[in-house]
Amino acid sequence: MKTIFEKSVPGRQALSLPECDVPLYQLSPELLREKPLRFPEVAEIDLVRHYTALSKRAYGVDDGFYPLGSCTMKYNPKLNEEAANLPGFTGIHPLQEQKTLQGALKLMYTLGAKLAEITGMDQITLQPAAGAHGEYTALQLIRAYHLDHGNPQRNKIIVPDSAHGTNPASAAMNDYITVNIPSGPDGCVDLEALKAAVGEDTAALMLTNPNTVGIFDKNIRQIAQIVHDAGGLLYYDGANLNPIMGLIRPGDMGYDVVHLNLHKTFSTPHGGGGPGSGPVGCKAALAPYLPGPIVTEKDGVYSLTPGGDKSIGTVKTFYGNFLVMIKALAYIETLGAEGIRLAAQLAALNANYMMARLKGHFPAYSSDICMHEFVISCEKLKEEVGITALDFAKALIDRGIHPPTIYFPLIVHEALMFEPTETESKQTLDQACDTILELLREAKADPAAFKQHPVKMPIGRPDEVTAARKPILVYTPASS
Ligand SMILES: *Cc1c(COP(=O)(O)O)cnc(C)c1O
């Protein structure tokens, strides 16, 4: 498909402006560009066709089943979009006087309070723009806390080998030394390895629970005790909150600080780099370091309070991605406490149903019961007929199913990690399982043909290594 620039014809336009009826203002020559900007010049119909064609090549939750593990690609109710589109929200400016922004401030205050309740934390900042940004912010809080308590030597962050890649990356971004600890055979934290790793230099343990293989680590209280006894803090990667929301709370498990992904758990559309939100919640001991401003309430009046003396400072322009907050609050309010709990339970039920149907056919990593996601492996299939997790993912694309997460977590070879989410029906799950089992038979019957997938897509199999190592991210026009 040609780019919009390649479709450009000099002089062609998608709009016609009325004749200018004010005097032309001449900019002085030093303010002018040397060469005109290169804009694509196309007619409206070409413009519409171009982007419609592109949109048809994209795949999202609204197109079909999207069981991408760890990413919680649940359906996003359209009502949330309606709410975020209300002119009272879209027409305001962050620098308006606070008394004219009471509704928006109340919304942020209410969302913060709900998230604090759901996570069992004392304070929330809504500023961070995504999960990794939340991790970064939380690690800054952890550093500020240790420095303030006279412990600059606490420069190590412990991360289990099953952790999401952003965890060690965020630690490195914050100049921490990452200490990896192995998981036990059940994917849970190896307590002996943890005891050996903690010490005077421990800043925190970053841990998600349920972990990335979809198993709830029952030793969480003991883990918290070990970390706290060593003087460290416990950090919850909240990307896996979906199966526990309304049921148990990180704050009650012993965590000191959490980040949430509103764009996963709280049904905000994501993928493709759209706006996200990664609020951070913390216990009172960490609250003095939170970024400002924070919304406070007194006698029914809401105001933006700057961060205190000890604040790590602002981490995002203004107050965070406000429209994402609206969608999250709309979701929480429409479900209510009961609905949130039910959504969590259905997320676990759906994952268990799918795992039960598949695990006789693929070795499953998870034990009897999983939480919101489960991991099966193509290792046996690879040994028998040479079909890998990647081959299987490519074949699923041809069948209109978004592939699961593959080769993650790293502790499982040839991993396929499915997270069906609570918004899928039994029919959809059954259809997906039937397709997967059919593909398994095809893979065994004719591995060479199977390796040709995908054959129905505009692009088949790009060279993955070159794509990862030498990505071409900038369009260079032929004539420049
Ligand atoms: C998605 C995810 C993150 C990072 O969130 P982003 O919003 O993509 O930055 C961190 N940890 C886990 C476990 C995740 O699934």
265 lines ligand 1 (CB under 6 A): no
**Ligand 1 atom 14: the closest Cα is on which residue?**
239
Task: Kindly give, in sequence order, each residue whose CB lies less than 8 Å from that of residue 87, ignoring residues fewer than 6 positions away.
Answer: none
159 lines ligand 1 (CB under 6 A): no
**Ligand 1 atom 6: the closest Cα is on which residue?**
131
pLDDT at 146: 98
Pocket test for ligand 1, best of 74, 166, 209 (most atoms within 8 A of CB): 166
**Angle CA 130–131–134, to nearest 5:** 90
pLDDT, tens digit, for every residue of 421-434? 999 999 999 999 99
- Rounded to whole angstroms, the Cα distance separating 76 from 168 reads 30
pLDDT at 474: 87
pLDDT at 273: 66
Mean pLDDT of 457-472: 90
The domain limits of the chain are: 1-57, 79-334, 341-467
132 lines ligand 1 (CB under 6 A): yes
pLDDT at 286: 98
pLDDT, tens digit, for every residue of 330-368? 999 999 999 999 999 999 999 999 999 999 999 887 668
- Rounded to whole angstroms, the Cα distance separating 226 from 27 reads 67
pLDDT, tens digit, for every residue of 102-147? 999 999 999 999 999 999 999 999 999 999 999 999 999 999 999 9
Please say if the pLDDT value at position 249 is more than 60: yes
What is the domain class of 79-334 according to CATH? alpha beta
- Rounded to whole angstroms, the Cα distance separating 218 from 159 reads 18
pLDDT at 74: 95
Closest atom of ligand 1 relative to the 134 alpha carbon = 9
Structure-derived torsion over alpha carbons of residues 173, 174, 179, 182, reported in degrees to the nearest 10: -60
**Higher pLDDT among residues 185 and 59, named by residue:** 59
Mean pLDDT of 414-425: 97
Structure token digits, residue 90 = 């879209």
Lowest mean pLDDT among 249-253, 394-398, 406-410, 446-450: 406-410
pLDDT at 364: 83
Confidence of residue 298 (pLDDT cuts 50, 70, 90): very high
pLDDT at 269: 86
pLDDT at 479: 63
DSSP per-residue string spanning 169-202: HHHHHTTPEEEEE-B-TTSSB-HHHHHHH-STTE
Mean pLDDT of 145-162: 96
pLDDT, tens digit, for every residue of 71-101? 999 999 999 999 999 999 999 999 999 999 9
DSSP per-residue string spanning 287-338: GGGS-S-EEEEETTEEEEEPP-TT----SSSTTS-HHHHHHHHHHHHHHHHH
pLDDT at 389: 97
pLDDT at 270: 86
What is the distance in A from the centroid of ligand 1 to the CA of 67? Answer: 15
Confidence of residue 411 (pLDDT cuts 50, 70, 90): confident
**Angle CA 255–136–468, to nearest 5:** 120
Work out the percent of the chain whose per-residue pLDDT is above 70.
99
Return the top range by mean pLDDT from 66-75, 361-370, 458-467: 66-75
208 lines ligand 1 (CB under 6 A): yes
pLDDT at 400: 95
Domain 341-467 matching CATH 3.90.1150.10: the answer reads yes
424 lines ligand 1 (CB under 6 A): no
**Angle CA 17–19–25, to nearest 5:** 100
Instruction: Give the global pTM.
Output: 0.92
The dihedral built from the CA positions of residue 217, 221, 222 and 228, taken in this order, carries a sign that is: positive
Please say if the pLDDT value at position 393 is more than 70: yes
pLDDT at 308: 85
Task: Kindly give, in sequence order, each residue whose CB lies less than 8 Å from that of residue 46, ignoring residues fewer than 6 positions away.
Answer: 7, 12, 14
Please say if the pLDDT value at position 480 is more than 60: no
Please say if the pLDDT value at position 179 is more than 90: yes
Mean pLDDT of the chain: 94
Structure token digits, residue 437 = 């089992």
- Residue 143: half-sphere exposure toward Cβ, Cα within 13 Å: 19
Please say if the pLDDT value at position 268 is more than 90: no
Q: Hey, do 79-334 and 341-467 end up sharing a CATH topology, with the first three levels equal?
A: no
Q: Are strands 405-406 and 374-377 parallel, antiparallel or unpaired?
A: unpaired
Confidence of residue 456 (pLDDT cuts 50, 70, 90): very high
Closest atom of ligand 1 relative to the 135 alpha carbon = 10
Closest atom of ligand 1 relative to the 132 alpha carbon = 9
Mean pLDDT of 5-21: 92
Tell which phi-psi region holds residue 177, choosing left (phi > 0), alpha (psi between -120 and 50) or beta.
beta
pLDDT at 470: 93
